[in-house]
């Protein structure tokens, strides 16, 4: 933002400035007149978009749970291990690390 009347962009989120409303317009068509609040709103919305799960990520976890170590799943999906565990619980999955260890120890 170069001036007080520019759009605010954070990651994938842009809040356009309205000269008529004299504020930044949210996706819900609300007007935020305080630039600090508008910046914070954009940051929060961007974080929310980044943490949403895509269907392909859920499908991948369902396919490889018990076959692939949770650290590898997290690395491949570029997510935190706790996020993978939480999504696994939400999908009703268990990450059987003992079965994974036995399977891969026998291949060495």
Cα–Cα distance, 78 to 88 (Å, whole number): 15
Confidence of residue 108 (pLDDT cuts 50, 70, 90): very low
What pLDDT is stored for residue 67 in this prediction? 84
Quote the mean pLDDT of the chain.
85
Per-residue pLDDT at 76: 92
Which phi and psi angles does 6 have, rounded to 5°? -90, 165
| Residue 15, C-beta contacts closer than 8 angstroms, at least 6 positions apart | 7, 8, 9, 24, 25, 26, 32, 38, 41, 42
Q: Would you mind telling me the total number of residues written for the chain in this entry?
A: 108
Which one of 2-11, 29-38, 39-48, 59-68 scores highest in mean pLDDT? Answer: 29-38
C-alpha 87/C-alpha 101 separation (Å) is 22
Strands (E), the chain: 8-10, 13-15, 17-18, 23-25, 31-32
Residue 59: other Cβ atoms inside 10 A? 11
């Amino acid at each position: 933002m170069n001036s007080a009347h520019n759009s605010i962009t954070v990651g994938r989120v842009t809040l356009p400035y309205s000269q008529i409303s004299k504020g930044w317009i949210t996706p819900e068509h609300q007007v935020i007149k305080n630039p600090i609040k508008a910046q914070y709103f954009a940051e929060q919305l961007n974080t929310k978009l980044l943490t949403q799960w895509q269907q392909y990520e859920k499908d991948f976890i369902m396919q490889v749970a018990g076959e692939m170590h949770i650290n590898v799943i997290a690395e491949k999906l570029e997510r935190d291990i706790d996020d993978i565990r939480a999504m696994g619980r939400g999908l009703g999955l268990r990450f059987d690390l003992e079965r994974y260890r036995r399977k891969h120890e026998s291949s060495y």
